[in-house]
Chains A and B, each alone.
Chain A
Amino acid sequence: MSPEKRPLLRRLFEPASIDSQAPAAKFITYALLILWSLVVLVPLYWVLITSFKGPGEVDNGPFYIPFVDFQPSLAAWDFMLLQNYTLGPYLNSVMVALVSTMLAVLIGSLAAYALVRIRFRVKLAGVAVFLILLVAVIVAVATFGVPWEIAVAVAAALFLIALFTFVARTRLALGNNDIEFWIISNRIMPPIVAVLPIYVMFQQLRMLDTQAALIATYTAVNLPIVVWLTRDFFAGIPLDLEESAEIDGASKFRVFFTIALPLVRSGLVATFLLVLILAWNEYLLALFLSNANAQTMPVLVSAQNTTRGPQWWNMSVLIVVMIAPVVVIASVLQKHIARGLLVGAIKG
């Protein structure tokens, strides 16, 4: 029976061929997909048009379409960007996100490469002694008021003695997988646990509310992700090229920078973008570590929320300038960023 001869209902509910959907199923599929597209777009559209509104357009009830039911104006943009100090936090955000991402990718990929290519054995007893001494130093300094220089010096001496005596004789050691697991597992730790001491630490160093403090902290927080992702990219490249370069006398660093890194370029781009966006969006650490001077955009927006909350038009401008770069990057470079996510999720 040819498709044309079939009754209408059967044509609607039965697929024409084995690979395709029945017209009714196809209709439902696309209807649902378009529905979710609206769910994605409506919030973004609303914040965008609100930034072109004024007090009148917001307070007199919802208006939906610029030029049709309200006249858009640039007043809020002028007010927030030119008359208010928005540029400072914006530059802070750009600076902190870019520098911390570059550092994290550099340090992380170096470590990941070494963990893939070189066999490590770390004596378990050495790690244990190190941790015990660290705790002892902290307790001695904090509880018994021992000057920290003395405590650290004594601990370092004890550590060296331990290394060359009984630690050298123990057999139990951690291998590459253990080191890697330790690095990656740092991501499980909720940042709130670490941020209090980091706050006190930067307070003691008189570095609170500086870009450097934020850059250092963001680098550390995003490092596990970089190691996790780049490790798979390095593991995927063939050894031959690196080996022949090493036979020619190139050092490990040279091999890394001139051969290995260029080979995983696209993977590095994926990692870089993902970490960049994470750093750009970061809120909790910036909330603790920055105040007026090094404030980043997420903190600025949340701080304005209390004072300017009812001024939708002004808040919308801030949000649009904050999310526009990530929305553009996400839509133009989606393939690259998704690649990073996929490698992470599928490998586990």
Chain B
Amino acid sequence: MTATAGTMTQPPHRLGWAEWLDRHSGRIMVMPAVVVLLCFAIFPLIISAYLSLSRFALAPGGFTLRFIGFANFRKLLTGSQQYHLLGAFGTLGIVQWIILAATAAGLLFLLVRYFSGSPTVVGTLGRLVSAAMAMALITLAALTFAQGGVPGTVVTTLLYVFVGVAVQFALGLGLALLCGQATRGRNFFRVLFFIPLMVTPVGIAYTFRMLADMQKGPFAPLLQAFGIGEWSWATEAWSARLMVLVGDTWQWTPFMFIVLLAAVENQPRDQVEAARLDGANGFQIFRDITWPAIAPIAATVVLIRLIEAFKIIDLPNVLTGGGPGLATESMTLHSFIAWRTQDLGGSAAVGYMLLFISTVVCVSFFNFAVRPARRFES
């Protein structure tokens, strides 16, 4: 496009081919990457926006597209597909009201605290968007988890993202701290614990289906001893979701572990030893030395994991096929199913909503968790 390399200062004279190549080398080096991303990211993104606003139909020899405005979104948010995307709403009980009130109060408190400082226009807008998104998602979760409610694909995806990432972070951190204590065999554990991260998710899904089989799986005798051999996890919403989370945790805990272990190994040794000499206990050392040292890295790995977690499809698709009902269907799987039923407009609309939610959540997390953690360090 309009790139100008900063090194171009010589007066123009007749150029040979090689010289021309050298003068524009910067642009030529970046151009392939830019073209590839334009073709496979920006261009599709715009087409997708257009698809989400139209009705797509196969016609003899090709297809027809008709512009229908926001009808696809309306169908998903308030119309016939609402139960699929958002879920069915129950009546809020006292617990849900308390959670909602606490969330609203917390968000208001944070906003007020920001306004009493020195607010900027961009900062205010960003905080309002983040707060609105947080409130909307928590309200949605409360409504669908309430008595009589059924969670849709948005809430299921959020469950995978937030519960999954939290559990993986806790386990990864715990293992990293344990492994940091182990003087012998640390490299053995490092290599072994790393493996699941690299295993193909589709393979993990089927393997966990075999492991969790109630009649023929390795744990079947144990389950029968407890008298639950006849029960099946695949027919109940919560146990099916739990299975997806277990598979996801098995795969992604290593990522947290490997990065956090490197961070733990880099914590200031002399401070830890000095604290120990002064008689500090393990928890105090963790709170005052280890955690501040690893916080920026911890925030970054959580961010990377958040970004990837929103894209989940392989595990639910192979493990449960999204069932029972819609219980384990993620938004990506929802979009895929809409595509398979020729509803390209609806599929693109779901994809766009996923893009919107994941971008707002990830950018908010970057601004309000990763950045403060990094400032904390310096």
Chain B residues whose CB sits within 8 angstroms of the CB of A319 once the complex forms? 200, 203, 206-207
Q: How does the 8 Å CB contact mask read for A288-332 relative to B, with 1 for contact and 0 for none?
A: 100000000110011001000100100110010011001101110
Q: How does the 8 Å CB contact mask read for B211-250 relative to A, with 1 for contact and 0 for none?
A: 1000111101100000000000000000000000000001
Q: Is residue B36 within 8 Å, beta carbon to beta carbon, of the partner chain?
A: yes
B314 interface neighbour in A143, A219, A302, A322, Cβ under 8 Å: A302
Q: Which of A36-44, A84-92, A263-271 is the interface stretch?
A: A36-44
Q: Is residue A155 within 8 Å, beta carbon to beta carbon, of the partner chain?
A: no
Q: Is residue B372 within 8 Å, beta carbon to beta carbon, of the partner chain?
A: no
Q: How does the 8 Å CB contact mask read for A1-43 relative to B, with 1 for contact and 0 for none?
A: 0000000000000000011110001100110110011011111
B44 interface neighbour in A64, A198, A302, Cβ under 8 Å: A198
Chain A residues whose CB sits within 8 angstroms of the CB of B335 once the complex forms? 192
B36 interface neighbour in A58, A139, A219, Cβ under 8 Å: A219
Q: Which of B18-26, B95-103, B122-130, B140-148 is the interface stretch?
A: B18-26
Chain A residues whose CB sits within 8 angstroms of the CB of B5 once the complex forms? 118-120
Q: Is residue A208 within 8 Å, beta carbon to beta carbon, of the partner chain?
A: no
Q: Is residue A238 within 8 Å, beta carbon to beta carbon, of the partner chain?
A: no
Contact B44 A197 (CB under 8 A): yes
Chain B residues whose CB sits within 8 angstroms of the CB of A187 once the complex forms? 307
Q: Which of A71-79, A146-154, A248-256 is the interface stretch?
A: A248-256
Contact B40 A19 (CB under 8 A): no
Contact A36 B175 (CB under 8 A): yes
Chain B residues whose CB sits within 8 angstroms of the CB of A122 once the complex forms? 1-3
Instruction: Give the A interface residue count (CB, 8 A).
Output: 113
Whether A334 contacts B336 in the complex (CB less than 8 A), given A33-B182, A43-B250, A61-B220, comes out as no
Cα of A150 to Cα of B5 in the assembled complex, Å: 32
Chain A residues whose CB sits within 8 angstroms of the CB of B359 once the complex forms? 188
Whether A188 contacts B2 in the complex (CB less than 8 A), given A220-B40, A302-B318, A330-B194, comes out as no
Cα of A309 to Cα of B207 in the assembled complex, Å: 11
In the assembled complex, the CB of A231 is this many whole angstroms from the nearest CB of chain B, namely: 11
Cα of A41 to Cα of B194 in the assembled complex, Å: 11
Contact B194 A114 (CB under 8 A): no
Contact A252 B358 (CB under 8 A): no
Chain A residues whose CB sits within 8 angstroms of the CB of B250 once the complex forms? 39-40, 43
Could you list 14 further interchain pairs (A-B, Cβ under 8 angstroms) beyond the known A130-B1, A323-B199, A348-B370?
Answer: A21-B181, A30-B182, A32-B178, A33-B179, A120-B5, A122-B1, A189-B41, A196-B48, A200-B63, A253-B29, A298-B314, A302-B314, A330-B194, A331-B195
10 contacts between A and B (CB under 8 A): A18-B277, A29-B178, A110-B29, A134-B42, A163-B2, A196-B51, A223-B37, A309-B209, A319-B206, A341-B258
